[in-house]
Copies of this chain bind each other. A is one copy, B any other.
Amino acid sequence: MALTLYELGGLNDRRYSLYSWRARYALAHKGLTPEYRPVRVSDKAAFAFSKQDKVPILVDGDDTIHDSFRIAQHLETKYPDKPLFGGEIGQSLSRFMNSWVDRTIVPRLVPLFIIDLLGIVDEGDGAHMRRNIEKAFGKTLEELAANREKDVAAIRRLFDPVRASLRSQPFICGSQPAYADYIVFSPLQWARIVAPVDVLEPGDALAAWRERMLDLYAGLGRTTPARA
């Protein structure tokens, strides 16, 4: 069955969307290899076929699914081997992780580095992003980035409950990675691709886990290079 993942693409074929990285890892976890279709964030016509305006979008035969969590649910149902969630409790707590990362980490981390993202997307996408982010936050991208060294230090501490898990096991989900690992990895992967600095400190257990995550699936995470 043909699988196609529509996802944001930047200059030099960089794939920077954090939600797309969740879908990429979920597909790899299931042993599935999709065709990747990069789209520009400002080119809504390219994915109008999905009848909504967000990527990533997975086309799996007759099914068209958007929203990274729904893509993971679709994969878990259709390809039950190699569980991403491992049952109802695991799926529910993965949903909690999804909300925690998307409400606690992403809105604090991403605005700090949009100004750098402009350097790796085309001009039209850059103007689109500047407009949208500045409107959403009521600040210029320059203002959002102004104190980011201090902001990044505070964000690092938000991951403390994750570090607690990694003290007794190699992955957040246990002895093997699963979907909640991919959720937590995604903003760090975004920062790796976009930010001119490493947002983690050397010696941080989270940085060691991130390396393990980058090694998975024949180095899938390294197919887009680090910026720093």
Contacts and interface: CB of A to CB of B under 8 A. Distances in A.
A92 interface: yes
A96 B174 contact: no
Contacts of A165: 92, 95-96, 99
Contacts of A168: 95
A34 interface: no
A38 interface: no
Given A103-B161, A103-B164, A161-B104, A93 B97 contact: yes
Contacts of A89: 83, 85-87, 90, 93-94, 173-174, 178, 180
A175 to B, nearest CB: 7
A62 interface: no
Interface in A17-47: none
Interface residues of A, number: 33
A164 to B, nearest CB: 4
B91 A161 contact: no
Contacts of A169: 92
Contacts of A173: 88-89, 92-93
Given A86-B88, A88-B173, A174-B88, A161 B93 contact: no
22 contacts: A83-B89, A85-B89, A87-B89, A88-B174, A88-B175, A89-B93, A89-B94, A89-B178, A90-B90, A90-B93, A92-B171, A92-B180, A93-B93, A93-B96, A93-B97, A93-B172, A95-B168, A96-B97, A96-B165, A99-B160, A99-B164, A103-B160
